[in-house]
Amino acid sequence: MHFKVKRPRMNGEITLKTATIMQQKIILMRYFCIGISVLFLIVGCGKETMEYRMSMDLTFINATDSLLSFNLNPSVSSNNLENLIILPQSQSKIFTYDIEGVDKNLDPNNCCQGVLDNLFEGGNPANFIVINENLCVAHLLEKSVDISNYDVEIISPRHFRYTYTFTKVDIENARPCK
């Protein structure tokens, strides 16, 4: 007698395994998408860096009997110098500078020295105070480039006015201009 052995159908088993593998891949892909979304949410919700701004007014008083002039940057981001002329016994116009990237807690007595250096040509020793159009004093050597020598007025918590008064002492070391 001859027996015929029936083989189990492989097609059904393959289809079942393929379907199971596909479902596993779909589930893994969904977990992967959820994980990436959570990661972006966590990274995106980090602390923001705040950049603070302030305004600085700068004015000069000429308390001498001489005509004074010197170069001053009209804006913090500019390299175009303006020749500022202050008549005897008078006050200059007020220069207002808007400054970004300053500290949250400002101390008006020491927050603006770097800005002042930039306004006077970055502390360039060639920047002179010219007296009566014929005598010169190097600006770098004078008190007018040190913020601690300015009178400070607090206009608002982020707006300060600095006033410097030129006296005879500021120009007593004047020499003929070359």
Q: Tell me, yes or no, whether 57 lies in a domain.
A: yes
Domain that holds residue 33: 11-46
Note the pLDDT tens digit of each residue in 45-89: 655 667 788 999 989 999 999 999 888 776 665 656 678 899 999
Both 76 and 62 in one domain: the answer is: yes
Asked if 55 contacts 73 with a C-beta cutoff of 8 angstroms, the reply is no
Is the pLDDT at 141 greater than 70, yes or no?
A: no
Count other Cβ atoms within 10 Å, centred on residue 62: 22
Q: For the full predicted model, state whether its pTM sits above 0.85.
A: no
pLDDT above 90: percentage of residues in the chain? 17
Q: What is the pLDDT of residue 78?
A: 60
Q: Tell me, yes or no, whether 2 lies in a domain.
A: no
Q: Tell me, yes or no, whether 157 lies in a domain.
A: yes
How far apart CA 138 and CA 173 sit, in angstroms, is: 9
Both 42 and 85 in one domain: the answer is: no
Is the pLDDT at 22 greater than 60, yes or no?
A: yes
Helix (H) or strand (E) holding 69: strand 68-72
Note the pLDDT tens digit of each residue in 100-136: 888 888 888 878 888 887 777 655 555 778 888 888 8
What is the tally of structural domains in the chain? 2
Q: Tell me, yes or no, whether 3 lies in a domain.
A: no
- The strand pair at 95-102 and 90-91 is best described as unpaired
Contacts of 127 (CB under 8 A, 6+ apart): 70, 71, 120, 121, 138, 139, 140
